[in-house]
Amino acid sequence: MSTEGKVIKCKAAVLWELNKPFSIEEVEVAPPKAHEVRVKMVAVGICHTDNHVVTGTIVLPLPVIPGHESAGIVESIGEGVTTVKPGDKVIPLFTPQCGKCRICKHPESNFCLKNDLGKLRGTMQDGTTRFTCKGKPVHHFLGISTFSQYTVVDENAVAKIDAAAPLEKVCLIGCGFSTGYGSAVKIAKVTQGSSCAVFGLGGVGLSVIMGCKAAGAARIIGVDINKNKFAKAKELGATECIDPQDHKKPIHEVINEMADGGVDFSFEVVGLRDTLMSALLCCHEACGTSVVVGVAPGSDTLSVNPLVLLTGRTWTGGIFGGYKSKDSVPKLVADFMAKKYSFDALISHVMPFEKINEGFDLLRSGKSIRTVLTF
């Protein structure tokens, strides 16, 4: 029996209160309105940014259904949708690409003005919600809320991908892989023979390493306070790994000494004030570039002596690896299908969706890289 045009009742992971486990609840998912798409989820990865919602580091109205790294199949489409149809394999996009705004028309930038990451309204682009639970509206996360068996997304926040793509793997293209890999190849534009330092060796940081390696970096220094992350980092291209706790000197001084005054490119993929500063200072004062990938919690701000930049450093950052999402995601999937890269080293755990709280415990205890939940 077709579900098109009807409310679907299904299971979703709802966060009712900060710092509490998710409750798997029955929710109602409204049909897509005009220019919207309802997607049946097949696989979803757990990214540390979802945990920032649980802890309140990213402040959203509650209750909310998080999740932003996924792949699924179109169940139905609203009026006027032309770029996907029921049955298509798709990846929801946490940074949309409307194609019309100033940013979409800019040749380089990708942070489309239709995004919800800046405002965190917790709604669809029209300001309303499509989920209800126990009679209450439930908020969306970044316009895609993928911790649900079914979700509704705006058409500009979903990309059609190769029908042969394995969804339980390419879901990582929805965030972690693209965010990290693009930070190296597209935002920093890492050069052949260069030196790089990557702070934070989680799913996103390891993807930065994959990007640095693909761009031909000669030296890639991995930095993490959890030594258990070093083996994977080396497998993926780190030439050496260091733990700041093993050094008396500040870690940026250690890296400056190791790399002839500082690395060419550094990446902060932790999201802490201290590591943001260390990453900035460990790149060469005259020719180094430092890329912000992580975000410091809450109101943390950095105070920087302008001399740090006056000498010639570049300090930059970006969302989703700088990729224009709707255009780039099908290409990133095509490159995966052509075996340009593999995600086997990144996916440490696969478990059923119902075990989502176990997946978050693994992330918080540093035991997983990426847990993929299957529906």
What residues line the site for ligand COD (CB under 6 A)? 47-49, 52, 175-176, 179, 199-205, 223-226, 229, 244, 269-272, 275, 293-295, 319, 363, 366
| CB closer to ligand COD, 204 vs 283 | 204
Question: Per DSSP, what are the bridge partners of residue 199?
Answer: 223, 268
Regarding 175 and contact with Zn ion (CB under 5 A), the answer is yes
Q: Restricting to residues 108-127, which ones interact with Zn ion according to CB under 5 A?
A: 112
Edge-to-edge strand ranges of the sheet holding 136-140: 8-14, 23-29, 131-133, 136-140, 64-65
Write down the least CB distance from residue 115 to Zn ion, Å. 8
CA distance 137 to 147: 16
| CB closer to ligand COD, 140 vs 229 | 229
Number of chain positions touching Zn ion (CB under 5 A): 7
Look at residue 318 and give the partner it binds from Zn ion, ligand COD, none, a contact being a CB closer than 5 to 8 Å depending on partner kind: none
Compute the chain's Rg from CA coordinates: 20
Percent helix, strand, coil in the chain, to 5, is 30, 25, 45
Residue with the two structure tokens 């999402």: 325
Regarding 129 and contact with Zn ion (CB under 5 A), the answer is no
When binding is defined by CB under 5 A, the residue of 39, 40, 41, 49 that contacts Zn ion is 49
Q: How many residues does the chain have?
A: 375
Look at residue 101 and give the partner it binds from ligand COD, Zn ion, none, a contact being a CB closer than 5 to 8 Å depending on partner kind: Zn ion
Q: Is 47 exposed, middle or buried (0-12, 13-18, 19+ CB in 10 A)?
A: buried
CA distances from residue 123 to 135, 139, 153, 360, 371 in whole angstroms, order as listed: 17, 6, 10, 24, 26
By the 8 A CB rule, do 54 and 18 touch?
A: yes
Regarding 208 and contact with Zn ion (CB under 5 A), the answer is no
Look at residue 30 and give the partner it binds from ligand COD, Zn ion, none, a contact being a CB closer than 5 to 8 Å depending on partner kind: none
Write down the least CB distance from residue 360 to Zn ion, Å. 14
Look at residue 295 and give the partner it binds from ligand COD, Zn ion, none, a contact being a CB closer than 5 to 8 Å depending on partner kind: ligand COD
Regarding 266 and contact with Zn ion (CB under 5 A), the answer is no
Which residues fall within 8 angstroms of residue 261, CB to CB, at 6 or more apart?
Answer: 284, 285
Write down the least CB distance from residue 300 to ligand COD, Å. 11
Write down the least CB distance from residue 189 to ligand COD, Å. 20
By the 8 A CB rule, do 172 and 69 touch?
A: yes
Look at residue 104 and give the partner it binds from Zn ion, ligand COD, none, a contact being a CB closer than 5 to 8 Å depending on partner kind: Zn ion
Write down the least CB distance from residue 164 to ligand COD, Å. 27
| CB closer to ligand COD, 8 vs 369 | 369
CA distance 319 to 39: 23
Residues near Zn ion (CB under 5 A) are: 47, 49, 98, 101, 104, 112, 175
